């Protein structure tokens, strides 16, 4: 569980499947090509990903994620598949 990169709300997620953004740990911005080794992946919540996908769809861009990554986590938690 950690805060969303966009809205800051804490949320639970599967770290192997969550949509995330690569952020330079020193600057807090997307890393320059030569600084990717200083970057960390920061997760985005399903509300922010869905909102971004609405805009991406309008512009004809590929979606931020495919499938229902977050719902799968809820199903796994309900069945204790950890």
- Dump pLDDT digits (tens) for 22-77: 899 888 888 888 888 889 999 998 888 888 888 888 999 877 665 556 666 566 66
- d(C-alpha 13, C-alpha 69), whole Å: 8
Question: What residue has token string 């030569």?
Answer: 34
Provide the pLDDT confidence category of residue 80 given band limits of 50, 70 and 90: low
Residue 41: enclosing H or E segment and its boundaries?
Answer: strand 39-43
The predicted structure's pLDDT at residue 25? 86
Residue 82 has pLDDT above 50, yes or no: no
Please give the Cα distance from 73 to 69 (Å, whole number).
Answer: 7
| 1-19 residue pLDDT tens | 899 999 999 988 888 888 8
Tokens of 65: 């994620």
């Amino acid at each position: 569980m950690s805060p969303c990169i966009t809205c800051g709300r804490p949320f639970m997620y599967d770290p192997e499947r969550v949509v995330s953004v690569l952020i330079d740990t020193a600057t807090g911005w997307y890393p320059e090509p030569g600084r990717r080794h200083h970057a960390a992946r920061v997760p985005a919540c399903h509300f922010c990903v869905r909102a971004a996908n609405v805009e991406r769809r309008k512009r004809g861009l590929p979606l931020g994620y495919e499938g229902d990554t977050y719902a799968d986590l809820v199903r796994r938690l309900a069945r204790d598949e950890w």
